[in-house]
Amino acid sequence: MLQIQSRPRSRPSDRSHKIVVVLPAYNEASTIAQTITEANDHFSKINPNIEYLVVEDGSTDGTPQVLSRLQPIMPCLRVNSSTRRKGYPTAVRDGILSVGKDADRILFMDSDGQYDPRDFKKLVRFADNADIVIGRRTSRAESRLRVFLSIGVRLLARRMFGLKCLDITSAFRLMRREVAQELASRVHYSKYNFWIEFTALAAVSSYEIVEVPVSYRNRQKGGSRVYSSRVLVKVVVSELGALARTWIRCVATPHARSRQI
């Protein structure tokens, strides 16, 4: 049974409540316009009160120009641009923290088109009973090394933080705006992923987490961004260090309960 927390909180449940879709973008000129327009085709049917915030992270491939051409035909699109590369975790944190207090929820998704916007309705279905709804990817094609390392990180996170999530690195999440911002402000140690530390903090902060299965598509344009084996090991070691430092800082905080659907 899903455990509902006793602390008071608002529960937006109708189409009038505002959702801000946050998308980080670095060198996504070939995908960003299609990702946003495809997402809006599906999201606007579920909730017409929706806004898009692209956190443009110093791209050098023409991404800012693509977004500039898209803005006149999409008044609901805002762009926060950086003159230098900040890196994924900082761009994600800055994007979440820049959402205004008039928003009820934040929907986060990457801008490369790998998350299917049709799955948004699955996240919405459970939004009233959770602080964070995570889209668990069910069709990922990965190397054996990546699978092995992912399992190791998940098992360690489960042991350290009581997490039951199967996809703690998923970047497709529907979150209460105040919860997302409170957690994002506390992510300090992650150099690569952001979501591992974010999810661990959610667990020790007793936020309600629900995980639902979603599809995951191959990149259609722009090529693959899969890490090499050497870089992948470096990333995992760094994120394990971030988990360890988070555990040391938050060891006395209660664990959250989570549920898979």
Tens digits of residue pLDDT in 101-110:
999 999 999 9
Alpha-carbon torsion (139, 163, 127, 114), positive or negative: negative
For residue range 185-226, list pLDDT tens digits in order.
Answer: 999 998 888 999 999 999 988 899 999 999 988 765 554 455
* Mean pLDDT within 151-170: 81
In the chain, the percentage of residues whose pLDDT exceeds 90 is 57
- Is-contact 212 121, C-beta < 8 A? no
Residue 117 has pLDDT above 70, yes or no: yes
- Is-contact 21 107, C-beta < 8 A? yes
According to the model, what pLDDT value does residue 52 have? 97
Residue 231 has pLDDT above 80, yes or no: no
According to the model, what pLDDT value does residue 249 have? 78
Weakest-pLDDT range from 68-77, 119-128, 169-178, 222-231: 222-231
Residue 137 has pLDDT above 50, yes or no: yes
In the chain, the percentage of residues whose pLDDT exceeds 70 is 81
Residue 174 has pLDDT above 90, yes or no: yes
Confidence of residue 161 (pLDDT cuts 50, 70, 90): confident
- The secondary structure of 96-140, three-state, reads HHCCCCCCCEEEECCCCCCECHHHHHHHHHCHHHCCEEEEEECCC
- Is-contact 53 84, C-beta < 8 A? no
The kind and range of the H/E element at 180 are: helix 177-184
According to the model, what pLDDT value does residue 63 have? 96
Confidence of residue 65 (pLDDT cuts 50, 70, 90): very high
What's the chain's Rg over C-alpha atoms?
Answer: 18
Q: What residue ranges define each of the domains in the chain, with the CATH number in brackets?
A: 19-260 (3.90.550.10)
Confidence of residue 3 (pLDDT cuts 50, 70, 90): very low
If you average pLDDT over every residue of the chain, what do you get? 84
